[in-house]
Amino acid sequence: MAFLHVVIERADGDKPVFLFGDLSKAELKKRFIRPYSLAKPVLKENRVVNLANVTVVHIIETEQPLDAALKLLQVESNERIDRLNRESTGAFIVSAGSGWVNEDIVHCGEDVTARYVTSPPGEGTPASRALALIHSPWVLRVGGSLAVIVIGGFVVRWIWA
């Protein structure tokens, strides 16, 4: 089973924000894609996150749940740092490595953002765009005129019948 994780960057923030983890495709669409498409806010723990000012979206797919993927990243990161320190002749790297914060999930799996996000926030879902088209003044005038003509034709036919 694939696990989907969402990390965003906002115009008013200087670092990435981990929104959701361990989502299924259906949960991703319900909890992130639909609100993102409509530029609606979402609730992350006890904070309201406004999706209207999102500048970068990362949707990451992993084979393991969030905790297991981050643990694997920690091990790989520590091994990489140890190897660099062993092979280095002069410089010594002191670092905690990666995988200690949820935002590091962007380094774990495959970035599948292009499969789910194809427009900026607020562009709407197909249903909301169709509804907006139906409510446009031009469509209402033309549609109303055609309806009057059709109804008028039926009335004239009924009267002359």
Segment (H or E) for 54 = strand 54-62
Return the bridge partners of 4, or none. 23, 61
Looking at residue 20, what DSSP letter applies?
E
Q: Count CA within 13 A, CB hemisphere, residue 55.
A: 8
CA–CA distance, 120 with 155 (Å, rounded to integer): 48
pLDDT tens for each residue of 113-134: 999 998 888 877 767 666 666 7
Predicted model pTM: 0.73
CA-CA distances (angstroms) from residue 139 to 124, 125, 133, 149? 19, 19, 7, 15
Signed CA dihedral, 101, 102, 106, 109: sign only: positive
Cβ within 8 Å of residue 65, ≥6 positions away: 3, 21, 22
Full strand arrangement of the beta sheet holding 54-62: 17-23, 3-10, 54-62, 110-111
| CA atoms of 67 and 79, how far apart (whole Å) | 18
Between CA 105 and CA 101 the distance in angstroms is 8
Q: What is the pLDDT of residues 3-45, one digit of tens each?
A: 999 999 988 877 899 999 999 999 999 999 999 988 899 998 8
pLDDT at residue number 147: 87
Q: How far is CA 59 from CA 84, 106, 123, 142, 143, in A?
A: 30, 8, 18, 42, 41
Q: What is the mean pLDDT of the chain?
A: 86
